[in-house]
Amino acid sequence: MKELQFLFVETYISQQNFSLRYKQHLVKWVDEVSEDKTPQLTLYSVKLEKGEYVLRLNVRHESRSLLEKLLELPVLLQQKLPVPLLLDVYGDHHQALIGGKKLTATTVLSDAPVPVYFAALPPEKLSRNNLTVGQTLTGTVTFAKDELGRKVDIYNLQYIVCEAPKRNSKEKDKPKPNDEYTDAYKDFLVNWIGKLEGEKLEEAYEQASSRFPECAAVHAAYLLALDPASEPKHLPNANETPEVTTAWCQQIITISKKVTSMIDQEKLLAFFGIRNDTRPDANKIKQENEKLRGYLVDALCRRGTALCRLYLLATPGAARDSLMESLRANTADLLKLVDFTDSKAIQYGVWYWFTGQQWARAVKLLQRMQEERPSRELDERLAQAYRQLGWPHLAHTTQRAMPARYPPAYRPF
């Protein structure tokens, strides 16, 4: 239901307020006659269904010149936003301009003024709520810390929507039809590389890599096709060696290096270190960098997993120590972007801690995975880690609960 409110100051002989449904019947009308010359403040409210309406105001007066001044009378409508807009609060004017450190809490002395600055709303939030110039947002602000104080320490707040900054659109920035065709063709190849197998996969990858040699998405899709995300294959086993070949691991490492070499990691880290990007095309730049970070994280995780498998397959010696150094350097690069608890890196975290025989940290990640998506393979790896830690009682309890948690079939009822 929508509520339309009409505010009038009665200075005429009589007036009628009509709320008409568009091209339909009359919804409500009011007739007011003023007996004296004093202004009267009248508030009319009516709840209407969703639709189009026409508002009409009929005014009667002996002077035609006064009535002509009401031909273009504005109407003020007040409605609630579907989602409240929150303003960022700063204690310093400079921090409010650059979007720096926010004001979270402060201690105020008696009769001592404390300046508070509210930052402007981003243009994205205004456009998302269809707010334009001429509209005013009203709300409240409270400065008390405790709950009881917030109920009485309330101040009204008004925000006037200003004109959004104008962005110069140059002709050279517009994509040309040839560029659009090239991008669409590249996306088509990348999409199908991740779905193909065997000879078709190799043909599609060779065609895409020769046509777009500097595209990281092509190699990332080929990595996904070579090493699909299957749970049993991606989890290490403390009692068995990995069921992969050395050549396969070397291929994964080679393709992963191609992806990482195409992405400037220092530039990517510098971008995500920016607090507030004020460039006109900030949203487009952010989307592109988010894609690059996803490709880089996926390549580092798959390269690290392949190094772990090679380490477990190798015999003790200088070659194995070199693999461990490469593995630590790869992990250091990954942790600059995401943590092991991230959904994209958590499986590699399990491999890394299993390879380094840090079983307690591996248990922590396995339990986190078990909470989000439980599976029999995760319980088996947990039982193995418990035994390595010297906790046979937990391993025995986990194994005994597996038939009940993952039955081969359900009894009909």
Q: pLDDT tens for residues 187-236?
A: 888 888 877 888 888 888 888 888 888 888 888 888 888 877 654 457 88
CB atoms within 10 A of CB 219: 27
In degrees and rounded to multiples of 5, residue 111 shows phi and psi of: 60, 25
The pLDDT value recorded for residue 303 is 92
Is pLDDT above 50 for 26?
A: no
Average pLDDT, the chain: 80
Is pLDDT above 90 for 363?
A: yes
The pLDDT value recorded for residue 22 is 38
Is pLDDT above 90 for 173?
A: no
Which residues have a Cβ under 8 Å from the Cβ of 347 and sit 6 or more positions away?
A: 234, 235, 301, 305, 369
The Cα 343–Cα 339 span in angstroms is: 9
Tell me the pLDDT band of 8, cut-offs 50, 70 and 90: very low
* Lowest-confidence region among 65-79, 337-351, 359-373: 65-79
Any bridge partners for residue 56, and if so which?
Answer: 18
The DSSP call for residue 171 is G
pTM above 0.85, yes or no: no
Torsion, Cα 389 395 397 398, to 10 degrees, reads 120
The pLDDT value recorded for residue 307 is 92
Hey, what amino acid is at 365? L
Give the E-state strand segments of 119-260 in sequence order: 136-141, 155-160
The pLDDT value recorded for residue 171 is 47
